Amino acid sequence: MKSVTTAAAPQPAGHYSQAVVHGGFVFVAGQLPLDPATGAVVGEGDIAGQARQTLANVGAILDAAGSGFDRVTSMTIYVTSHSHWAEVNRVYAEVLGEHRPARAIVPVGELKLGCLLEIQAVAAVSPDL
């Protein structure tokens, strides 16, 4: 197994890696809409802005692992309200384009720092990793 770390995404706040590469896949830990440089929540109260930032963080980690959105096999999106589904789906479609990995959007309770969503992903990586 290989841990993945990049300064282009928020640093872990606990005992975990941003991602782990194993068996030809990268497993991205849950990401929040945090600015990687400051650690501040981006787009406070704005689900579309938070979705864009969170996906950007996931994308930076995928890049650091030798993967990308076009290789995502599944994504789980946790939202604090079912009412966020349509807007999250719209931003998600903009970012992923024609690629349609398996996905779940799960309504949950409160998230850290008052964030409106959290995203984790699994993606294929090149065989040499």
pLDDT digits (tens, 9 = 90+) for 40-54: 999 989 999 999 999
- Mean of pLDDT values over 100-113: 96
Query: Is residue 129 a part of any domain in this protein?
Result: no
Query: Is residue 26 a part of any domain in this protein?
Result: yes
Query: Is residue 57 a part of any domain in this protein?
Result: yes
Query: Is residue 111 a part of any domain in this protein?
Result: yes
pLDDT of residue 126: 72
Instruction: Give the whole-number percent of the chain exceeding pLDDT 70.
Output: 98
Domain total of the chain: 1
Query: Which residues, 6+ apart, have CB-to-CB distance to 43 below 8 Å?
Result: 33, 49, 50, 52, 53
Query: Is residue 112 a part of any domain in this protein?
Result: yes
Tell me the residue range of the domain where 20 lies.
2-124
Q: Are 80 and 111 in contact (CB under 8 A)?
A: yes
CATH number, domain containing residue 120: 3.30.1330.40
The CA–CA distances, whole Å, from 117 to 17, 54, 83, 96, 129 equal 19, 8, 12, 17, 30
